[in-house]
């Protein structure tokens, strides 16, 4: 049984985020709704967690009537308003001593979840599980989709190239993430400008090549050694289901072959739970509208089982 260093009691606040504005495909806003429909709350209660869930966020009221691109970036004001609300939800759960569980929705939501976590726990570290680095700047992004950009906004560095206009649109956001407090696992589709950013700031990243070479057990250990060497900092785990191989989680917006196996994905969650340091979890980019019924079922259920492993489910 895991003892949770930073939680007051075994209580989890679920933040349902039906939001798709950080990318072009409809349907990713259905992800959290389906995960709840599939019985996630009951599953966590059976595991002994008290669950606080006040229904999904209603973001459509936050949609601005006009939201022209800033540079290439699409829907910047909408993303900003939504992620501000998410940041406040996450922070309030954490300040009550609960674990915060955010269900997405597209990965631009991490602008909110990570901001909320670092507001409550400035000393936290971030473990980012993804096929992509999501560290494009609004200038370097080719697609203009902000779900590929959140990490560049969050980094606490003084020379990130983010325009004045964009900074003003996100005036609520304080970049608090030091480059030595984020680590990636699962990368395999990283844009050239993103590679430069990772190098420039010395950000630790374990690609699928590292997983092949060392095995997932060693990779998780090395990842935690990098951002949490004494195993005393709160951990935020941001898990994009596209880190998993498309055979495991097919119903997601930007699948990339050669990903984590079912067990590798779950192992990451199990071993982060074992640290007892987890305070905040995101499960992102579950899109139950892209594939056939079987693929959707597989993807939604894998989202739920990742959550359960994060919250302490074990095989024995
Ligand atoms: Mn992502």
Residue 230 in this model has a pLDDT that exceeds 90: yes
Residues with CB under 5 A from ligand 1 (ion): 107, 130, 134, 240
Q: How far is the CA of 1 from the centre of ligand 1 (A)?
A: 30
Q: How far is the CA of 9 from the centre of ligand 1 (A)?
A: 30
Q: What's the number of CA atoms in the CB half-sphere (13 Å) around residue 308?
A: 22
Instruction: State the pLDDT confidence band at 66, using cuts at 50, 70 and 90.
Output: very high
Q: How many other C-beta atoms are found inside a 10 Å radius of the C-beta of residue 295?
A: 17
For the entire predicted model, the pTM comes to 0.97
Q: How far is the CA of 253 from the centre of ligand 1 (A)?
A: 10
Instruction: State the pLDDT confidence band at 158, using cuts at 50, 70 and 90.
Output: confident
**pLDDT number for residue 1:** 87
Nearest to 50 by CA among 18, 86, 14: 14
Q: How far is the CA of 151 from the centre of ligand 1 (A)?
A: 10
Q: How far is the CA of 247 from the centre of ligand 1 (A)?
A: 18
**pLDDT number for residue 160:** 82
Q: Compute the distance between CA of residue 294 and CA of residue 309 in angstroms, rounded to an integer.
A: 22
For range 225-236, the mean pLDDT: 98
Residues 6+ apart with CB under 8 A from 41: 14, 51, 53
Ordered domains of the chain (ranges, CATH): 11-310 (3.40.800.10)
Q: How far is the CA of 284 from the centre of ligand 1 (A)?
A: 7
Q: How far is the CA of 18 from the centre of ligand 1 (A)?
A: 16
Q: Tens digits of per-residue pLDDT, 273-299? A: 999 999 999 999 999 999 899 999 999
For range 28-35, the mean pLDDT: 95
**What is the chain's length?**
316
Q: How far is the CA of 203 from the centre of ligand 1 (A)?
A: 16
**pLDDT number for residue 40:** 98
Angle between helices 262-275 and 293-310 (to 10 degrees): 20
Q: Compute the distance between CA of residue 76 and CA of residue 165 in angstroms, rounded to an integer.
A: 10
Q: How far is the CA of 130 from the centre of ligand 1 (A)?
A: 5
Residue 258 in this model has a pLDDT that exceeds 80: yes
Placement of tokens 């917006």 in the chain = 253
Q: How far is the CA of 240 from the centre of ligand 1 (A)?
A: 5
Q: How far is the CA of 148 from the centre of ligand 1 (A)?
A: 7
Q: How far is the CA of 16 from the centre of ligand 1 (A)?
A: 17
Q: How far is the CA of 137 from the centre of ligand 1 (A)?
A: 14
């Amino acid at each position: 049984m895991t003892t949770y260093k930073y939680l007051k009691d075994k209580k989890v606040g679920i933040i349902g985020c039906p939001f798709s504005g950080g990318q072009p495909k409809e349907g990713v806003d259905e992800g959290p709704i389906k995960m709840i429909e599939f019985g996630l709350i009951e599953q966590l209660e059976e595991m002994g967690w008290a669950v606080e869930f006040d229904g999904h966020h209603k973001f459509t009221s936050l949609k601005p009537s006009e939201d022209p691109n800033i540079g290439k970036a699409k829907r910047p004001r909408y993303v900003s308003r939504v992620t501000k609300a998410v940041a406040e939800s996450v922070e309030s759960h954490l300040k009550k001593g609960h674990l915060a569980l955010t269900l997405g929705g597209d990965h631009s939501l991490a602008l909110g979840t990570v901001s909320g976590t670092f507001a409550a726990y400035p000393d936290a570290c971030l473990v980012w599980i993804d096929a992509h680095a999501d560290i494009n700047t609004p200038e370097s992004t080719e697609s203009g989709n902000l779900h590929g950009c959140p990490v560049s906004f969050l980094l606490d560095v003084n020379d990130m190239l983010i325009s004045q206009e964009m900074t003003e649109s996100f005036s609520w956001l304080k970049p608090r993430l030091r480059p030595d407090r984020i680590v990636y696992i699962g990368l395999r589709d990283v844009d050239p400008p993103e590679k430069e950013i990772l190098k420039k700031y010395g950000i630790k990243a374990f690609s699928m090549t590292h997983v092949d070479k060392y095995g997932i057990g060693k990779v998780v250990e090395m990842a935690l050694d990098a951002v949490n060497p004494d195993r005393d900092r709160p951990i935020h785990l941001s898990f994009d289901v596209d880190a998993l191989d498309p055979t495991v989680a097919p119903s997601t917006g930007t699948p990339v072959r050669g990903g984590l196996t079912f067990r590798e994905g779950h192992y990451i969650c199990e071993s982060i739970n074992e640290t007892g340091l987890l305070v905040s979890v995101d499960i992102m980019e579950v899109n139950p509208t892209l594939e056939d019924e079987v693929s959707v079922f597989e993807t939604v259920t894998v989202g739920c089982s990742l959550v359960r492993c994060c919250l302490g489910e074990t095989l024995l």
